């Protein structure tokens, strides 16, 4: 998951070697993401986007041949930002600690911290938004969205298996489910955080997930 707005200038410097003339397109995508997370895709009109960006409707259609192509571009952008963000956070976790378990636990702590300091009032996940409107989109976009979840699964599953080599866990751990819970937990935390308008919920959920991972691989010292 990436969280709109946050670190965007950093991203555009690192990820996109964007020729300056694509600024408008990027701006459309940025505004569109915020609008879609607030009202959904169908209720987000091209009219409001161009008003916010300051171009005409025809200008919009120069960049996207139709509204569906906007959706696809939004998803692609979101996925790229998302994976970049996770790479970055967990790389830093590993830099601080070269044991796979403890590096992961540090990464999760950094992750929780970052989620607690998001500048937006109500962060959200575009994948979740799209999944509750998926009849609006073509197979292309649905596949993209699916792949974004599978990327999370792969990322966390590989890490968990690496950890399991050094810390043989209790019997019968469902690694796939535990890997999926990383994404699931963030999705759920975002929803609760939005509904209750409480930004502390999401980071605390991530820390609970961290506890679960810890308890799964480490004997509890308190017992």
Which residues are at the interface with its own copies (CB under 8 A)? 37-43, 124, 127-129, 131-136, 145-146, 148-150, 170-171, 174, 176-178, 180-181, 183-189, 191-192, 194-197, 201, 204-205, 207-208, 211-212, 215, 219-220, 222-223
Quote the least distance from Cβ 140 to its own copies, whole Å. 15
Does 55 interact with DNA (rule: CB under 7 A)? yes
Residue 47 interface partner, choices its own copies, DNA, none, CB cut-off 5-8 Å depending on type: DNA
Who's near 163: CB < 8 A, 6+ residues apart?
100, 101, 104, 217
Q: Which residues of 175-207 are buried (b: 16+ CB within 10 A; e: fewer)?
A: eeebbbbbbebbbebbeebbeeeebebbbbbbb
Q: Which of 7, 34, 46, 181 binds DNA (CB under 7 A)?
A: 46
Residue 218 three-state SS:
coil
Q: Which is nearer to DNA, 57 or 91 (CB)?
A: 57
Q: Tell me how many helices (H) and strands (E) the chain has.
A: 10, 0
Residue 149 interface partner, choices DNA, its own copies, none, CB cut-off 5-8 Å depending on type: its own copies
Q: Which of 18, 45, 138, 147 binds DNA (CB under 7 A)?
A: 45
Tokens 């979101």, residue located = 78
Quote the least distance from Cβ 24 to its own copies, whole Å. 25
Residue 4 interface partner, choices its own copies, DNA, none, CB cut-off 5-8 Å depending on type: none
Q: Which two tokens stand for residue 114?
A: 């970052």
Does 24 interact with DNA (rule: CB under 7 A)? yes
- The kind and range of the H/E element at 173 are none
Q: Which two tokens stand for residue 35?
A: 């609008």
Q: How far apart are CA 52 and CA 49, in angstroms?
A: 5
Quote the least distance from Cβ 95 to its own copies, whole Å. 27
Does 138 interact with DNA (rule: CB under 7 A)? no
Q: Which of 10, 13, 38, 59 binds DNA (CB under 7 A)?
A: 59
Q: Which two tokens stand for residue 205?
A: 């959920």
Among candidates 131, 78, 115, 111, which has minimal Cα distance to 193?
A: 115
Where on the chain is the footprint of DNA (CB under 7 A)?
Answer: 19, 21-22, 24-25, 44-48, 55-63, 65-68
């Amino acid at each position: 998951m990436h969280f709109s707005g946050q670190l965007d200038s950093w991203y555009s410097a690192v990820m996109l070697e964007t020729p300056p003339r694509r600024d408008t397109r990027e701006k459309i995508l940025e505004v569109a993401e915020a609008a879609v997370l607030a009202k959904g895709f169908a209720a987000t009109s091209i009219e409001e986007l161009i008003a916010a960006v300051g171009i005409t409707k025809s200008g919009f259609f120069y960049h996207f041949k139709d509204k569906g192509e906007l959706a696809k571009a939004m998803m692609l952008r979101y996925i790229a930002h998302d994976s970049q963000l996770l790479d970055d956070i967990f790389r830093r976790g590993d830099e601080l600690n070269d044991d796979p378990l403890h590096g992961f636990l540090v990464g999760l702590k950094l992750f929780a911290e970052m989620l607690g300091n998001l500048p937006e009032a109500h962060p959200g996940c575009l994948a979740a938004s799209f999944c509750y409107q998926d009849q609006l989109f073509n197979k292309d976009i649905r596949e993209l969205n699916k792949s974004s979840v599978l990327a999370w699964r792969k990322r966390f599953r590989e890490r968990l298996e690496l950890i399991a080599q050094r810390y043989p866990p209790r019997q019968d751990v469902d690694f796939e489910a535990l890997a999926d819970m990383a994404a699931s937990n963030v999705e759920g935390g975002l929803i609760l955080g939005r509904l209750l308008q409480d930004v502390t919920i999401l980071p605390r959920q991530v820390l609970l997930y961290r506890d679960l991972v810890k308890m799964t691989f480490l004997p509890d010292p308190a017992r």
